[in-house]
Structure 1
Amino acid sequence: MTWQKDVDELARRKALAAELGGPEKVQRQRGAGRLTARERIAALADSGSFQEFGQIAGAARYGEDGRIASFTPSNFLYGKATVDGRPAVVTADDFTFRGGAADAAIHRKLVEAELMAGEYRMPLIRMIEGTGGGGSVKTLEQNGYTYIPEIPGWDRIVQNLSEVPVVSLGLGPVAGLGAGRMVMSHYSVLVEGLSQMFVAGPPVVAAVGETRTKEELGGPHIHGANGAVDDVAESEADAFARTKRFLSYLPSSVHELPARTATHDPADRADDWLIEAIPRNSRALYKIRPILEAVFDRGSLFEIGRRWGTAIVTAFARLDGYPVAVLASDPMTLGGLWTADTAQKVERFVDLAEVFHLPVVHMVDNPGFMIGLQAERDATIRWGCRALSSVYQASVPWCALILRKAYGMAGSAHANASRFHWRMAWPSGDWGSLPIEGGLEAAYKSDLAAADDPEAELAAIKARLDAVRSPFRTAEKFGVEEIIDPRETRVRLCSFAETAQRALVPGRRAFGYRP
C-alpha cells in the first residue's frame, strides 16, 4: 500500500492553483499589459529558486462523494527565493480573482510572509495589485456581520521596517490596504501607464461627488511628485531591475553590515574638469549629477525619489566598492533652498541610512530654508527642524563636503556639530548665518545714507566683505577642517568610506523606522 493516490491528489490541486483565477481572467490580465502573479515571481526571482508556501491554500467546494468539485486558490502568493543570489521573501497579489480583494485572501498567508522575513532576517519584496489583502463590501454580505477594523499582522509590518529591507512594487491599481502596504516600505515603485495608487478608487470617490479616472486620481505623476512612492518605473521589468539595484546596497537585515563589492575604478581617479565645475559667479547654476558621477564609483549612483523634494538628491552609491548614502544639494531647483518637502525627503533618507548602517556623504550647496508666505503655510521650519534632528540622531559615519553655500539653520544641517568633523570644502565654499547680499544694505544703512556716493560706498563695502568671506579665512581659524582641490574629492571620499567601516556597528537602532 502506497500514498500514490494522495500524491496524485496533491498534484491535481497544485495544477488547479496554477490556473489562478481561470483562463479568462488570466487572459484579461495579460490583455491589460500586466503579468500574472506567478509570471512576476518568475521574472524577479533567480530561475528555479522560488519555494512556495501554502500553494494549495484556497476555497474548495466538495461534492456529495467527498471529492473536491472546484477550487479557487488564495489570491496571495508568497515564498522564499533568491534574488541576484541572495535569499529573500517574495510575495505577489493575484489580481485575477476578485481584484486581489479579501474575498479570496487568506490573511494568515500575508502575516506569515511578514513573519518569515523578520524572523529569518531576509529582505521582503511585495508585488502589490488590487486592495492587496483588504476587504470589499461583498465580504460583509458573505460573512453576515460587520466588524471594527483591524489589520492582521500590522505589528510585524511595522517591526520589519526597522529590521529588514522592504520593497513594494505597485504593478496595477492599488487601493486601501494595498496602498498602505505600498508606503510601509523602504523603497516603493509605481509603473508608468500601468499602475495607480489611492486610498479609495474612482467608484468610492464618485460616491462623494468627485469623478476621476484611476490615472487622474492616483497615477504615478501624482505620487512620484509628492513622495508617496519613491520611484516611477517604465515597465514591470524596469521595476524588477530597480528592486535588485536597491537591495544590492543594503545588508539582508540590520544585524549585518552592507557588503563591499569589487570595483575596477581606481580610488585615486581624478577628473580634471571638476576644478571648473562650480561657477565663480555665486548666482550661476550648475548641474550636480555629473559631479556625483565623477566622484563615486563609475555606474554606481542609484538615485531614489528624483521626482519630489527636488532641491536635494538622495542616492545610494559606492566608493572603492563600499556602499554609502548620498545627500547632495541641487542648485538647479530653487538654488538648493530647502522647502518643506525637501526637508521631509532628507529626514526619511537619513533615517534609512541609519537603520541599515550606511555611511553618509553630504555634498552641500544650501542657501537656507525657503522663505515667503507659501513656505510659512507649508510649516517649513517644523519640517526643517525634523530633518535637522534626524542628522543629529544619526550615529553612522558622516562626511560633509561643502561645494558652495551653507547658510542659516538649513546650512547647519550639513552635519552634527557635536561629532567628529569629517568635513571638507572646495575653494568655492561660501557660508555664514545669512547670505551677505541679503543683509548688506540693511546692516550698513546709516553708512550708505551718509555717503556722498552711496553706490561707490556700497561697492567698497562689498569688496571688504568679499575678502572676509574667503574660505581661507575660515580655515585659518579651523572653522573648516580642510579645503581641497576639487580633483582630489574622489580619493578623499574613498578614504572616508574605508575608515568608516571601523565605526559601523550592526544591530537594531534605538528608534524604529517610520515610512
Structure 2
Amino acid sequence: MGWQAAIEELRERERQAQQMGGPDKVRRQHDNGKLTVRERIDALLDKGSFHEVGALAGKAEYDEDGRLLQFRPANFVMGRGRIDGRRVMVGGDDFTVRGGAADAAIWEKQVMAEQFANEYRMPIVRLVDGTGGGGSVKSLETDGKTYVPRNPGWDWVVANMGKVPVVALGLGSVAGLGAARMATSHYAVMVQETSHMFIAGPPVVARAGETLTKEELGGSGIHVKAGAVDDHVKTEVEAFEKARKFLSYLPSSVYDLPPRAEPQDDPGRREEMLLDAVPQDRRKVYKMRPILEAVLDSGSFFEIGRHFGKSVITGLARLDGWPVAVLASDPYHYGGGWTASSAQKITRFVDLAETFHLPVVHLVDCPGFLIGLESEEAATIRHGARALAAVYQAKVPWCSILIRKVFGVAGAGHMNHTRVHYRYAWPSGDWGSLPLEGGIEAAYRADLDAAEDRDALRAEIETRLNKVRSPFRTAEAFLVEEIIDPRETRPLLCEFANMAAPLRTAGPTSFHMRP
C-alpha cells in the first residue's frame, strides 16, 4: 500500500477545501451577485494556470481516534498563475468563510503571497472581499485576551510598491485592513453597487453618530471622486479585464523593462482633425481625449483616475508599440489648471512612471494653479510643490507637447527645465508668467484706474501686447525649440518612443511610488 492512504487523505482534504464555506454560503454569495474566490481566480488567470499554495491550511475537527471529521479551509486562497502567459501572484479573500474576517484567516498565507511576489519578482493581484485586520470582537471571548494592533507582513506590502506591479480589486464590502490593502496598490478598482470600502463600516460609524447605508458611506462613486481608488466598473468580469490591461503596460518587476507590443498602427499617421482641434478663440474650450486618440497608437490609451483631479488626464498608452505614461491637461475642468487633487494625481502618476521605467508624454494646456480662497484652503501650493518635486526627480525620458496655455509655476512644471528640452509647441501656444487676460489688470492697474475710459484703455493695451504674444516671437529667441504642424505630432512622438526605448534602465529607482 505504501503511502496510498495518506494520498487519499490528501485528496479528501483538498476536496473539502474546494467546498469553501459550504453549499449554502456559496449560494448566498451567488445570490448577492458575486463570484466565489475560486471562480474569480479562474476568471482572472489564463485557463488552467493556477497553482494553489496552502490549500490544506484551515481548521479541522477529529474524532477520538484522530480521524478527520470536518475541515474548514482558511478564508484566503493564494497561489501563482499566468496572465497573458506571464507569471503573477494572486491572493483572494473567501467571503463564504466567516465573511472574509481575519479571525477566520491564517494570516501567514496573506503575508506569503506578498513576500513570494516580492522575492520572485512577479506582479500581485489582490482580490479583496473581507473585513479588517482584527476580525470580530467575538474573538475576545474565544481567545480570552486582546492584543496591541499590528499589521503582519506590511513591510512586504510597502516594499512591493517599489518592486512589482500591485493591483487591488475591491469585490465586496472591504473595511479596515482590507481598505488599506486596496489603497496600497498601483491600481485599484471597485465594482459598482456590490463593492463598498470603509475605514469602518456602517454599524461602527452609527455608534459615532452617523447613520448611513453601505452605499452612502463607502460606495465606489465616493472613492473614485476622492482618489482612494482609480476606477470603478459594473461587473467583476470588467474588473478582471481592467487588471489584465493595466499589467500589460508594465514589466513584471523593476528589474525588467516594460514590454513592447507588436506595432499595429502606422507611426507616420497624420490626423487632419488635429489642425482644427484647438479653437482660435482662446476663451473656447476643446476636448483633449480625441487628441490623445489621434496621436497615440489606436485604441491603446488606458485612462487611470478619470473621476479624480479632473483637470489632469493620466493613463498608459503605446507609441509604435512602446508603453508610455501619458499626462494631459483637460481644459473642460478649471481650464486645465492644477488643483490640490490634480497635483496629488500628478505626483502619484509620475512616481508610477519612474518606478516602472515608463517614458512620459505630456500634452500641456495649463493656465497655472487654481486660484481663490478654496484653493488656498486646500493647500494647493503644498500639493503642487510635491507634484513639481516628482517631475524634477523623475529620470525617465520625457517629451512635452505645448498645445495652448503654459503659465506660471504650474505651467513651468510641464517638464524639468534642467534636462534637455525635448518638447514641441503647436501654433496655438500661449505662455508667460500670467495669462494676458488677467495679467493686464495686475500689471496696469494704476493706469486703468486713472483712465477716463477704463475699457478702452484695456482694449488698447491688450491689442498692443497681442502683437508680441505670437509663439513665433518666442521661437525667434529660441525660448521654444520647435513649433510644429499639429498633424506631425504622432510621427514625432513615435520617434521619441523609439529614441527613449534604449535609454530605459532596469532596476530599482532612487525613489518609488507610495500610496
TM over 0.5: yes
Whether the aligned pair in 2 keeps the contact of 1:366 and 1:406 (CA below 8 Å) is yes
1:97 alignment counterpart: 97
Q: Do the aligned partners of residues 78 and 465 (structure 1) sit closer, same or farther apart at CA in structure 2, a change above 3 Å counting?
A: same
| Residues 1:423 and 2:411 aligned together | no
1:53-452 aligned within 5 A: 53-131=53-131, 134-448=134-448
Measured in 2, the distance between the counterparts of 1:86 and 1:251 equals 10
Farther off after superposition, 273-282 or 460-469: 460-469
| 1:69 CA drift (Å) | 1.3
Write the distance in 2 (CA, Å) between the matches of 1:194 and 1:242.
17
Task: Show the counterpart of 2:484.
Answer: 484
Contact 2:354/2:512 (8 A) holds in 1 = no
Q: Answer with 138-147 or 244-253: which moved more.
A: 138-147
Preserved CA contact (<8 Å) 1:105 1:133: no
Aligned residues: 515
Instruction: Kindly indicate whether the alpha-carbon contact (under 8 Å) linking 1:174 and 1:198 is maintained by their aligned counterparts in 2.
Output: yes
- Amino acid corresponding to residue 244 of structure 2 in structure 1: K
Displacement after TM superposition at 1:456 (Å): 3.7
Q: What amino acid is the match of 1:17?
A: A
Corresponding residue SS for 1:96: coil
How far the C-alpha of 1:446 sits from its partner, in A, is 4.3
Mean CA deviation greater in 460-469 or 400-409: 460-469
Deviation at 1:451, TM superposition (A): 5.5
Distance 2:212 2:331 in 1: 36
Taking a change above 3 Å as real, the CA distance of residues 221 and 139 of structure 1, as seen in their structure-2 partners, is: same
Q: Does 500-509 or 386-395 show the bigger shift?
A: 500-509
1:160-203 deviation digits (Å, cap 9, x = unpaired)? 00000000000000001100100010000000111000011111
TM-score by structure 1 length? 0.98
Q: Distance in 2 between matches of 1:453 and 1:79?
A: 77
Rounded Cα–Cα distance in structure 1 between residues aligned with 2:337 and 2:511? 29
Secondary structure of the structure 2 residue equivalent to 1:46: coil
For residue 135 of structure 1, report the CA deviation from its aligned partner. Answer: 2.0
Identity of paired residues, percent?
Answer: 60
**Partner Cα separation in structure 1 for residue 455 and residue 232 of structure 2:** 52
TM-score (normalised: structure 2): 0.98
Over residues 413-453 of structure 1, what are the superposed CA-to-partner deviations in whole Å (9 max), with x where a residue is unaligned?
A: 10001111101110000011111111213423444466565
Shift of 1:283: 1.1
Aligned counterpart, 1:36: 36
Closer/same/farther in 2, CA of residues 483 and 4 from structure 1, 3 Å limit: same
State the shift of 1:130 in Å: 1.4
Structure 2: gaps spanning 5 or more residues: none
Q: Which amino acid aligns with 1:53?
A: V
Other-structure match for 2:473? 473
- Whichever residue aligns with residue 126 of structure 1, its letter is R
CA offset at residue 460 of structure 1? Answer: 2.5
Asked whether the 8 Å contact 1:118–1:164 carries over to 2, the reply is: yes
**Distance in 1 (alpha carbons) for counterparts of 2:318 and 2:136:** 45
2:190 alignment partner AA: L
Structure 1 residue 454, shift from structure 2 partner = 4.5
Asked if structure 1 preserves the Cα contact closer than 8 Å seen for 2:351 and 2:513, the reply is yes
Deviation at 1:136, TM superposition (A): 1.9
- Counterpart code for 1:391: V
Task: Check conservation: 1:131, 1:175, Cα contact below 8 A.
Answer: yes
State the AA in 1 paired with 2:284: A
Q: CA deviation at 1:509?
A: 0.9
Deviations 1:6-50 (A, max 9, x none): 111111101110110111111000000000000000111111100
Q: 2:163 is matched by which residue type in structure 1? A: E
- Which deviates the most, 447-456 or 332-341? 447-456
Paired residues of 2:351 and 2:512 also in contact (CA < 8 A)? no
Q: In the TM superposition, what is the alpha-carbon distance from 1:457 to its structure 2 partner?
A: 3.3
Helix, strand or coil for the counterpart of 1:431?
A: strand
Relative distance call for 1:511 and 1:42 in structure 2 (3 A) is same
In the TM superposition, residue 149 of structure 1 has moved relative to its aligned partner by 0.8
What is the rounded CA distance, in whole Å, between the counterparts of 1:448 and 1:157 in structure 2? 60
Give 1:480 shift. Answer: 0.8
- Contact 2:368–2:408 (CA under 8 A) maintained in structure 1: yes
Between the aligned partners of 1:289 and 1:364, the Cα distance in structure 2 is 13
Query: Alignment partner of 2:467: what SS?
Result: helix
Q: Could you say what secondary structure the match of 1:155 adopts? A: helix
Q: CA deviation digits over 1:262-283, x for unaligned, max 9?
A: 1221100000110110000111
Between 436-445 and 194-203, report the one with greater CA deviation. 436-445
Q: Distance in 1 between matches of 2:449 and 2:379?
A: 37
Alignment check: 8 A CA contact 1:401 1:426 kept: yes
**Paired residue secondary structure (2:171):** strand
* Equivalent AA in structure 2 for residue 59 of structure 1: K
Q: Residue type matched to 2:23 in 1? A: P
Q: Residue by residue, what CA displacement relative to the aligned partner does 1:277-306 show, whole Å, maximum 9, x if unpaired? A: 000011101000000000000000000000
**How far did 1:455 drift?**
3.8
What is the Cα deviation at residue 459 of structure 1? Answer: 2.3
Give the root-mean-square deviation of aligned CA atoms.
Answer: 1.2
Moved more, 449-458 or 125-134: 449-458
Residue 235 of structure 1 aligns with an amino acid whose one-letter code is: T
1:102–1:139 CA contact under 8 A, matched in 2: no
Determine the structure 2 residue equivalent to 1:13: 13
Tell whether the 8 Å contact from 1:134 to 1:178 is kept in structure 2 after alignment. Answer: no
Secondary structure of 1:468's aligned partner: coil
**Quick check: 2:133–2:151 contact (8 Å CA) kept in 1?**
no
